[in-house]
A and B are shown apart, each in its own frame.
Chain A
């Protein structure tokens, strides 16, 4: 068990080196500008904004930019690879803070360009973020900026989520497994009946004697019919399960975990990238909604 953990930890540490930057939540403080409590507070705030309005505000802090890349290019790249905002609505905002270059960029998704104009973004950077950042007060700068952005964009696109109508995942899984079981059962029955039919057909309407060698292959063939059905059904059911899971994940987003019944929870947590240790670091982030941006927003420095 201990060894498992070690291997996992090793993988997690090294995955950061090899795989491109991946989001760990709405707040991605990779430059460590905030304390643990401040991180939790901002993450909670951003989560609440998403739950209330559907708008996805993401904060990313990094130490320095990759070579030969402007902050605008980098922000656009991250925005579109993380797919911040809901698909079709493109209601995402990315606040990128680069520590060493002392640069800030607010990148706005297509859907919010009308509300959160470039000049408003510039003003937020100049009047709210930069003054606080100059005094090394990153928490206040970020927090206030989020508050202002929230106020500006909350008027539009209030997404009412029907919490009550979400059926529990356990219900789905139960019926899904039942369908597979019954499917196999009925396929088996169908195969058997076909098999019987062939045997009867051969006996009644053909003149092949039961004892001749000609009869043997037919019997053999008909014996395999249920298995044929099994082999057809297996890939189909696998395909359906994959599609189904993806759809559910998309539908629930980060709530996906909440609805897993208790008897499956341990298993699913084990197979996903959930990390049970390391204070406050939870790898169970489900990703953003699939939004896009076209380079709207503003850049500033402090």
Chain B
């Protein structure tokens, strides 16, 4: 009887050990997936950031007096460049959203800009970049969802704590500012 009990305890421990190995590997790969997805998001943000100087250049050619706006643009860019954490980047990105919106609003007042081929192609690039951002954000959220679903299930969250992984990763949410259309004050 005693022998049997010993055997059962050992068997259970062994099963837990094996399960923890699988769980650890799964957590690592899911965590990595989220990181890759985030890198991809940053990638497309960077792409948009690189397009902004072109946009500023075009607008500058026609509307030299919007100096304040140009300063804001460069500030927003450097803010994004310096942002480290996911939430910081998110806030900075929404600010860039706003700045681009304002630049495009300025363009509305200048039919010459809208007619120029430079601006048309730039607009295509901007629209394409926005779409890429939307796609990569969706994929990031999917990766986060997968991670969270795994990390919150019953035996798994114990291992998550033991191994020191994040118990929950944050979804990408549209910030309140970016949900509003850009507002212009004259």
Interface residue ranges, A against B (CB under 8 Å): 72-73, 76, 117-119, 121-123, 126, 294-299
Contacts and interface: CB of A to CB of B under 8 A. Distances in A.
Interface in B49-82: none
Contacts of A118: 124-125, 127-129
Interface string B113-132: 00000001111110111011
Contacts of B127: 118, 122, 298-299
A126 B115 CA distance: 13
B134 interface: yes
The binding surface of chain A is classed by DSSP as helix
Contacts of B124: 118-119, 121-123, 298
Q: Which 3 A-B pairs have CB atoms at the shortest separation, nearest pair first?
A: A118-B128, A122-B124, A119-B121
Nearest to A121: B124
A162 to B, nearest CB: 35
Contact of A72 (B44, B120, B122, B134): B134
B31 interface: no
Contacts of B40: 294
User: Which of A117, A118, A121 has its CB near the most chain B CB atoms (within 10 A)?
Assistant: A118
A59 B121 CA distance: 23
A112 B135 CA distance: 17
Contacts of B133: 295
A123 B121 contact: yes
Given A294-B40, A294-B136, A295-B136, A122 B131 contact: no
A73 B132 CA distance: 10
A298 B136 contact: no
A295 B134 contact: yes
B120 A122 contact: yes
B128 A298 contact: yes
Contact of A295 (B121, B125, B132): B132
A294 B133 CA distance: 9
A119 B44 CA distance: 16
Nearest to B134: A295
A123 B120 CA distance: 9
B132 A294 contact: yes
A39 B131 CA distance: 31
Nearest to A299: B127
Given A294-B135, A296-B128, 18 more contacts: A72-B134, A118-B125, A118-B128, A119-B120, A121-B128, A122-B120, A123-B121, A126-B120, A294-B40, A294-B132, A295-B132, A295-B133, A295-B134, A295-B136, A296-B132, A298-B124, A298-B128, A299-B131
A119 B135 contact: no
A162 B67 CA distance: 61
A124 to B, nearest CB: 10
6 contacts: A118-B129, A121-B124, A123-B120, A126-B120, A295-B128, A296-B132
Contacts of A121: 124, 128
